Structures are given as structure tokens and as C-alpha cells.
Amino acid sequence: MRLFNKLLIIIIFIPISLYAEDSLTKTDKTQLSNGDKELLLALQEEVASLKKQINDVKKSSSIANNSGKNSGFTTYSSKVNNQNNLYLSVSQVGGVDPREITSNITKNGRLDNAPDDQGVMMSKGKIDVGGTPAITTQGQVTYLGSYSGNNSIPIGMISSNLFASTILGQREAFGDYSVFFGGYIEADAQTWFGSQISRAGGLPNFPANGQNIYLTNSKLYFLSNLGHYVTAQFDFDTDETGNFGLGNAFVIFGNLDTSPLFVTAGRSKLSVGSYGGGGPWTSGIIDEFLSPDKVTNVSINYKSDTINTNITVFGSDDKKANFSAGFFYTDSWTPDLSVGFNAGYVFNIAGAGNGSISQFLNNIGKSNKNIGVLNFDSTLAYSMLGGIWQLQGGWSATTNQEDFNLDGSSVNTGAWYLGLAYALTLGGRDTNFNITYGESYNAANIPMPLSNASPSFGLAESGIKNQLVVSAQRAYFDNNVLFGPEYSYQKLYNQQYMNTLTLDLSVYI
């Protein structure tokens, strides 16, 4: 109705404007009164403004027709905005309404951000790391981004711990009946040196020195909106072996424009922790042996701008049901400081796709025993020195005691880590530098994976006691191609150790 009224004004006043301009050419301009001149100028400005608004409406209508109700087949990344918000380009500044700039000028003459965008990595009142230099582990976003379900990032970069929440949060960018896809490829060139590593399962010792290049990840994602309240997702995964496997395969019931509650059903990773402390390739020490993996489950979820929480039930066998719960919080506290926190619990970690605890229980003949796990992670992100500094820490431990050291004593096992990262745009390229350190305790007899990327490596017979990771990442060609050199040092309880140098390549489709 407002647009119709404005069009009516144009129809009425354009002839008046043309008539007035014609009259000026035939008579002396000085014969017009000051009031007439002001009225004429005001009408001309109004006509120009209305023409601009009509053009804007046409453009937005065209976009809505392309990505709204109509069906379509497109890539996920092409629909999700991923602009860099560390700086404004000339084109971005040119599209800003001068009145918006004026309204944000303070009494002392400073130009402040709009209220919804105040804070580190804030966009429209939400934490969104899509416009900042990516920090990833095995392709997935880490540090502050791993606590948020609002990230506008490639689908392969979405944290598996908040995968469904992030997909649903970006749903408005796609039509009700549309199919979209994405992909992720990761390759790692490695060299390692240290001592021979004793491996679990009776495998021969792994060589103390070597080098190779591995295809460590290749994923193809398919997603589809089946109406306004149903979204389905599945992906196929493979690696160096060439064997294909099913990754996620689940359905989301709900839409955030109706309710903050939604339900997922199918195969996906349990959402209980962010599990930081790693590098571009090497996982954090907690993730190595105390995190869940993908299992068939049903979850009830709540999502807001700052909170994601869920309660999930899953089955490990036909005899008993298991459950997990997770809570994630992230927000901006000041214009320069943002925070993230999560707490999670898994009732039966061995039945949640965890290979290390499961194999430990099999080795001691207690495969049916429940081992619960608590997990806590937190991150502080602070903007200074031309970039964003992030400090992260986490702790996880079992809630049940067992002879994890194989010395006859029943104890709880656990681990902790600290990490520091600095991300900035350096030489026109998104770049980050990262260092993490972690330790485990009472884990001498728990098999664990190491940094070696060989798909035939399996698990080390003894657990990791100390882990140090130093790394960097830099975008090349565009922000969908990341190169990450990494050094990791891992010392085991049996005094064996491994130094691993990795050049990680991550490509997002």
C-alpha cells in the first residue's frame, strides 16, 4: 500500500514538475517566489528518491523469485553470505544510507557501529565468524565459531557439533522446495620422526621415520528443503582408501520463523562439546579419546541468537537406550570482547561412536559397562593489534572409575588443554597463527589416534600424555582454499613419542 501511494504521488507530481521546468524556460526564473522554488526542489528530490526505491524493490523482488518459493538446485555456499567484515570495501560503503551513518555519530564526533553489530564477530546481533579469517581443525571451524550456530560459512566448514543448528539457521536463504549441495576435500603432506610406535590390535610397530601424501577427507553433501518445516541432509565420505561411507543422514523438523524449538532424527554427531586444542590437521587431546562420534539418534533442540541446547537419546545396542545433553553459549560482552562456553554430558561414551574407550573396555572384557563423560570448553575473543586474539581452554573427564592405567587401581581419566590463536588479514589474505597444549591423566592403557594421517595407522597402544601443536593457516586464491603448515609433538605414557610435520590443504565447495 505504501508503494502504491508513492507511485500515485509520482504520477501526480511528475507532470507538475515537467510543467514547471517548461515554464522556467519561457519566463524569467527570478519571477518565481522563494517558496515556489523550495517546493519545486522538494518535489524533484522526492521523485528521485521514489525512483530509487522502486528500483530497489524490483531488485529485491528478483532475488526473492530466484531463491524464495521456487524450487532450485544450487550450492550451499552460493546462497550463504560470506563477506569479510574486518573491513568495508568501497562498494559496501557506497550502499550505506547517509542517514544511517548520521544516526551513529556520537556527541564527541566518533562513528559507532549499529547496536546489533557491536562486538567481535557480531553480525545482526549474532556471533558469525563467516566474515573473519577461518581457524579450522580437519576442515571444521574452531575457537569462537564452534560455539555458534549462526555462522555463514561453507557447509564443509560447519562444526559437526552444531551442524543441524547451523543448517537450520541459514534456512531462510533457500526456498521451501529446493535442493542444494556442497563439498569438502582435504589432503595432507606429512613427514614424521621419533620412536617406533606400538599399535593396538596386534598390528606391527609403526616406523619411527617416514613421509607421504594422503587424501584424508572427501565429502559430498546433499541437502533439501521438503516444504516449510522439513529439511533433510546426508553426505558421502571417503579418504585415501577409496572406501565410501555414510556420514550424516538426518532430518530436521521445524523452522525458526515459527518456533525456536526443532527436532532432529537420524545419524549425526552428538552435540555436547566444541573440543578445541588442535591444529589444521591434528585434533585436540580431549577429542582424541573422550568425544562422541556419529550415531543414530533423536534430539530435541532449542536455538536462539546466543544459546544452543539439546537433549538427545541414542542406542548403542538392542539392550539399552542412552542419552546426552549439551549447552552452548556465545555472545559479545563489549565492542572488543566476545565469549563462548559449552557444557556437555554423555551417559555412555563407548556406545556413542567413541573408538578409544570402546576398545579399552573390550580389552579388559567389560564391553557392556557404561562410562559417562563430562565436558567443558570456553573461549575469549578480543580485538586488538589489527586482528582478533582468541584464548581457549577445556577439560573433560569420566564420571565412572575404571582401571585405565592397568595397574590394579580404579580411577577417573580425563584431559585438559589451552590454546591461543591470532587471526588477521595479512597482505590481503586471511591468515591465522595458533598454538595449543594439552595433557591427559590416568590414560596409560587407552588406545588413541596420533597425528599420522595414514588410514592404516589405527590406534597407538598407549595413550597420549602430552601434546603440543603449533600451526598457521592462510587463504590462497580465495577464502575457500586454505593451506595450513602444522607441527605436532605427542608423547605417550610408554615413553614413545612422535614429531609430525604436516602441510594441510582444505578446499570448500
* pTM score, whole prediction: 0.79
47 and 179, same structural domain? no
Final residue of a structural domain among 43, 64, 85:
64
Residue 484 lies in a domain: yes
Total tally of structural domains belonging to the chain: 2
Final residue of a structural domain among 41, 64, 87:
64
Burial of 474 (0-12, 13-18, 19+ CB in 10 A): middle
SS3 350: helix
313 and 237, same structural domain? yes
- pLDDT averaged over consecutive 10-residue blocks of the chain (509 residues)? 48 47 46 64 72 62 42 67 41 43 43 51 82 94 95 94 94 86 96 96 93 96 94 93 91 95 97 96 97 96 97 81 95 94 96 93 91 97 94 98 93 98 94 98 97 93 97 93 97 97 97
Residue 448 lies in a domain: yes
126 and 60, same structural domain? no
Residue 273 lies in a domain: yes
126 and 51, same structural domain? no
Residue 313: all three cell numbers together = 537419546
State the residue range of the domain holding 408.
122-508
Residue 73 lies in a domain: no
The beta-strand segments (E) located in 60-147 are 73-75, 122-123, 126-127, 136-137, 140-141
Residue 112 lies in a domain: no
Final residue of a structural domain among 64, 96, 113:
64
Mutual angle of helices 2-26 and 34-67, in 10-degree steps: 140
CATH at residue 316: 2.40.160.10
pLDDT digits (tens, 9 = 90+) for 122-161: 777 789 998 899 999 999 999 999 999 999 999 999 999 9
162 and 23, same structural domain? no
Residue 496 lies in a domain: yes
What pLDDT does residue 493 have? 97
What pLDDT does residue 30 have? 46
462 and 368, same structural domain? yes
59 and 131, same structural domain? no
The angle at the Cα of 77, spanning 76 to 81, to the nearest 5 degrees, equals: 120
Residue 100 lies in a domain: no
496 and 361, same structural domain? yes
143 and 15, same structural domain? no
Q: Which residues contact 506 (CB under 8 A, 6 or more apart)?
A: 136, 139, 156, 184, 185, 186, 280, 481, 482, 484
Residue 95 lies in a domain: no
What pLDDT does residue 118 have? 57
151 and 267, same structural domain? yes
141 and 50, same structural domain? no
265 and 178, same structural domain? yes
